Chains A and B, each alone.
Chain A
Amino acid sequence: MTEPADAKAVRAAETAVAAEAPDGAGASIRAEHLVQRFGSGRGAVLAVDDVSFELDREPARIVSLVGQSGSGKSTIARQVLGLQRPTSGAVTYGGKDVLRLNRKQRSEFRRNVQPVFQDPYAIFNPFYRVDRVFWTAVRKLTDLPNKRAADEAIRDSLRAVKLQPESVLGRYPHQLSGGQRQRIMLARIHLLRPQFVIADEPTSMLDAQTRRGFLDILQDFRVRYGITTLFITHDLSSVHYLGGDIMVINKGRIVEQGAVAEVMAAPSHDYTRLLLASVPAPDPDQRWTERIDIGQIR
């Protein structure tokens, strides 16, 4: 069968882009048998228990990691970002352990894997104006040719997340609201255009309206820039809104995974059913009647 001319052109363009892409472009993140134990002896806590998964660059998607507080979600995020050395197992990027990268590889990893953290109040160093978050990123992780180009890129990024540059630049973090601060982190993502975003409960401290705006931007980034996001949350309504894939984690173990629509329609694990049953409905007549002993769920 002969290939259509426009499809040939698309493939040729993709090949050209791939040829120009830096080392690590198209690489995937693999979590391989991650275990994280805190403390030792009787007081030891098993936060992550043999967790494995893969985040692909293409096609870009949103993978939600869902579980209750203390289930090990944030520990996994830190392991994936190379901020936490696992007790055993490894996180690889492009086939290389993220904790054993050489200088160039680490730079490439940092350029392509970026976080959005939970607490919009703690992300900013209170000593500096918020601009510094952008300028440090520009200096360390981009190839923008000069200050003028960088300034323009920063302003474009702020506009892309619906912030007025003049309303945030030059201010100290304490002069901005939580929603503004979290959007600034998204603007930073927009500026850097990484391949992967590790978003650790980024919406947990935002109001409903701001949360929706935030989720829309994440979707927009996936569609426009092909950014794959590991979205860590305990909020199933956000997961449902985002779609994509879901991994349900309980007591440090992934107990169920699949497409969001499928898992939510027919959960196979008791814990997933519990999570779904625990989503509050905006109906004053609807109340939880069944008591579930979470300790019984494995």
Chain B
Amino acid sequence: MTTTLSAPKRTAGRLSLLRRSPKLTIGILLILLLVAIGLSAPLVAQAIGGGQDPTETAAFPRWLKPSGAHPLGTDQYGRDILVMVCRGVLVSLQIGAIAGLVSTVIGVIVAFVGGYLGGFVDTVLSFFTSILLVVPTFPLLITLSAYAKEVTLFEVGLMLSIFSWPFAARTIRSQVLTLRTRAYVDLAKTTNSRDLEIIFKELLPNLLPYVMVGFATSALGSIFGLIGLEVIGLGPAGVIDLGHLIFVAISTGALTLGAWPLFVVPIILLTALFAGLNLINIGLEEVYNPRLRSVSGV
């Protein structure tokens, strides 16, 4: 009999794996930092406004330069930029989470039902997915936003998720088609496992990286979508996210007036958001795919 390749690390749990993936750690830290920034909005508002809402029109003088009292200055309406940025981060994260979650759930259901069952069901679902994939979504979003000016954050998330699930569905379905013919799926069938057990216990764990990629892509797509709408001034009313701040910066010529934080800070935070989500994707792939883990003693 051949020798064993490596000794097991039975004590090594998922947490140590998380710790051993620097990409995942950095990604999670970045997202946690952004969440912390978003959640600190009330405290920052209290500290800067002293009981008054610092984002109200004319709360402070216009175009104040960054200072101790206003670390990022104020905009053309005299609103504190730091408080708006903190609130904008939270809104962008919420939009990403809502739209990412809804579209991932829809995408996973469509992918697994179609990919695993095959046949007519798969044909219908694939046809529907393909239609949504080729339809130019941004013009549709613009049209939708014209009819949906007064909407809640959740409704905005739902609206964006309508167009962002097909990518996840297509990616995951292709993997389901591959995995459902694997011998271990046949073995599960001969062990009397039911279809749902096979889907959730045999297929889904192997597809977690793809599900996460689907989530991150949908979340990013939705955040981008809303930013796109905001930047051209078509965003839903009452929703101030990072895109809205960029729109304000562009439309008021903030850069030329020296109010660079209004433009630069949201861009930096958006970059951190995208980097964080993508690093989590890559890190999860390392954690959940055992073949990518180091094999000692080979």
Question: Which A residues fall within an 8 A CB radius of B?
Answer: 78, 81-83, 106-107, 110-111, 113-115, 117-119, 122-128, 133, 136-137, 140-141, 162-163, 167-168, 170-172, 174-177, 179-180, 183, 210, 213
Q: How far is the CA of A252 from the CA of B82 in the complex (A)?
A: 75
The answer, among B5, B6, B8, B191, for a CB contact under 8 Å with A140, is: B191
Q: How far is the CA of A114 from the CA of B288 in the complex (A)?
A: 30
Q: How far is the CA of A161 from the CA of B4 in the complex (A)?
A: 16
Q: How far is the CA of A172 from the CA of B288 in the complex (A)?
A: 13
Which of B8, B192, B193, B291 has the largest number of chain A CB atoms within 10 A?
A: B192
| Interface pair B187/A133, CB less than 8 Å apart | yes
Question: Which B residues fall within an 8 A CB radius of A?
Answer: 1-6, 8, 10, 182-184, 186-193, 202, 205-206, 288-291, 295
Which of A78, A140, A170 has the largest number of chain B CB atoms within 10 A?
A: A140
Q: Total number of A-B contacts with CB less than 8 angstroms?
A: 90
Contacts of A78 in B (CB 8 A): 186
| Interface pair B8/A171, CB less than 8 Å apart | yes
The answer, among B183, B193, B202, for a CB contact under 8 Å with A119, is: B183
Q: How far is the CA of A224 from the CA of B186 in the complex (A)?
A: 27
Nearest chain B CB to A164's CB is how many angstroms away? 9
| Interface pair A127/B193, CB less than 8 Å apart | no
Closest 7 CB pairs of A and B: A177-B2, A122-B183, A110-B192, A127-B205, A125-B184, A117-B183, A170-B8
The answer, among A111, A124, A176, for a CB contact under 8 Å with B5, is: A176
| Interface pair B8/A122, CB less than 8 Å apart | no
| Interface pair A176/B191, CB less than 8 Å apart | no
Q: How far is the CA of A127 from the CA of B295 in the complex (A)?
A: 15
Contact of A141 with B192 at beta-carbon distance under 8 Å, contacts A162-B1, A171-B8, A180-B4 already known: yes
* Chain A residue at minimum C-beta to C-beta distance from B181: A122
Beyond A110-B191, A125-B205, A174-B290, list 13 extra A-B contacts (CB 8 Å).
A78-B186, A111-B192, A115-B186, A117-B183, A117-B186, A123-B183, A125-B206, A127-B206, A162-B1, A170-B8, A171-B4, A174-B291, A180-B4
